[in-house]
């Protein structure tokens, strides 16, 4: 009976461990896309920072080039690129089909592409690229930043697919920034995830990263705890059944 009980506990432990590993593995896959942080800003927000997070998904190659394309139908105005050690940024401007009128005058051109080269993102690593802006559009619900990621072996991953309502997430989704309604007072400020405050690029990136990491850690911790408790409960139930069976046999 002792051997049977030990075997039952081991099997229950293995099931719980595999289930927990599956939770973490799933989380790792889900976070492997190129993303933009924060996930939302208020429409018309001013003087903010966008952080493009680029993870390396290849085991035998490094990311050596990143191209982010900014929309020109709803342009982001006053774009400035924060320096990144080891990387050189090239900014491309495009003449707008429809000029944008602002308090400072009419804007006829805007940044349409930013290309980072010269650096390297190794296997199992990621890099954050910070971009400051002067003003976001107030006539759109979201902004899509199509991105190309080039590896040292020549492979290019095109993060350009847009999610469709009611459909599954595409294999290579483009980073998307949600634009929320302005505050009740008409200001461009929203909640903490998209507040239009004047902060440094590094500070905003660190804040967004810490918030995202904390939320992910709490979620994964709770999921792992629940799986572990269920595994122990299953083991206890199995032991009780084993004991009962042994008693009846005696």
Neighbouring residues of 97: CB distance < 8 A, sequence distance ≥ 6 = 72, 73
pLDDT digits (tens, 9 = 90+) for 178-217: 999 986 444 554 444 443 333 334 444 444 444 444 444 4
Asked if 77 and 100 count as a contact pair (C-beta separation under 8 A), the reply is yes
Token code pair at residue 169:
């997430």
Residue 15: predicted pLDDT: 40
Residues above pLDDT 90, as percent of the chain: 55
pLDDT digits (tens, 9 = 90+) for 72-115: 999 999 999 999 999 999 999 999 999 999 888 999 999 999 99
Neighbouring residues of 21: CB distance < 8 A, sequence distance ≥ 6 = none
Which residue is it, tokens 């930043």? 145
pLDDT digits (tens, 9 = 90+) for 10-54: 444 434 444 443 433 334 444 589 999 999 999 999 999 999 999
165 band by pLDDT with thresholds 50, 70 and 90: confident
Is pLDDT above 80 for 227? no
Asked if 230 and 79 count as a contact pair (C-beta separation under 8 A), the reply is no
Q: How far apart are CA 34 and CA 52, in angstroms?
A: 7
φ/ψ of 178, rounded to 5, equals -80, 140
247 band by pLDDT with thresholds 50, 70 and 90: very low
Residue 32: predicted pLDDT: 81
3-state secondary structure of 230: helix
Residue 142: predicted pLDDT: 97
Residue 188: predicted pLDDT: 52
H or E element at residue 7: helix 2-30
Is pLDDT above 80 for 222? no
Q: How far apart are CA 105 and CA 111, in angstroms?
A: 17
95: how many CB neighbours lie within 10 A of its CB? 10
3-state secondary structure of 103: coil
Q: How far apart are CA 107 and CA 217, in angstroms?
A: 43
17-54 residues labelled b (16+ CB within 10 A) or e (exposed): eebbeebeeeeeeeeebbbbbbebbbbbbbebbbbbbb
φ/ψ of 100, rounded to 5, equals -110, 125
Lowest mean pLDDT among 47-61, 170-184, 225-239: 225-239
163 band by pLDDT with thresholds 50, 70 and 90: confident
| Strand order, beta sheet including 63-69 | 88-102, 105-121, 63-69, 147-151, 156-159
Q: Which of 13, 9, 236 is nearest to 244 (CA)?
A: 236
Per-chain mean pLDDT for the chain: 75
């Amino acid at each position: 009976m002792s051997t049977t009980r030990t075997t039952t506990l081991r099997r229950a432990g293995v099931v719980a461990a595999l289930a927990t590993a599956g939770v973490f593995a799933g989380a790792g896959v889900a976070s492997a896309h190129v993303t933009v942080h924060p996930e939302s800003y208020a429409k018309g927000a001013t003087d903010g920072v966008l952080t493009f997070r680029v993870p390396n998904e290849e085991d035998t190659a490094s990311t050596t080039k990143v191209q982010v394309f900014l929309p020109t139908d709803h342009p982001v105005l006053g774009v400035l690129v924060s320096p990144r050690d080891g990387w050189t940024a090239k900014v491309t401007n495009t003449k707008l089909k429809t000029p944008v009128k602002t308090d400072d005058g009419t804007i006829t051109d805007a940044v349409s592409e930013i290309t980072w080269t010269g650096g390297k993102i190794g296997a199992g690593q990621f890099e954050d690229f910070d971009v400051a802006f002067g003003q976001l559009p107030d006539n759109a619900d979201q902004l899509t930043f199509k991105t190309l990621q080039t590896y040292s072996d020549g492979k290019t991953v095109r993060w350009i697919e847009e999610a469709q309502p009611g459909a599954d997430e595409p294999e290579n989704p483009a980073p998307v920034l949600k634009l929320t309604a302005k505050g009740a007072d008409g200001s461009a400020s929203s909640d903490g995830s998209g507040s239009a405050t004047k902060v440094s690029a590094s500070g905003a990136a660190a804040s967004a990263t810490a918030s995202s990491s904390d939320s992910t850690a709490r979620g994964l911790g709770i999921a792992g705890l629940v799986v572990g408790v269920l595994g122990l409960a299953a083991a206890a139930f199995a032991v009780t059944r084993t004991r009962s069976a042994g008693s009846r046999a005696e």
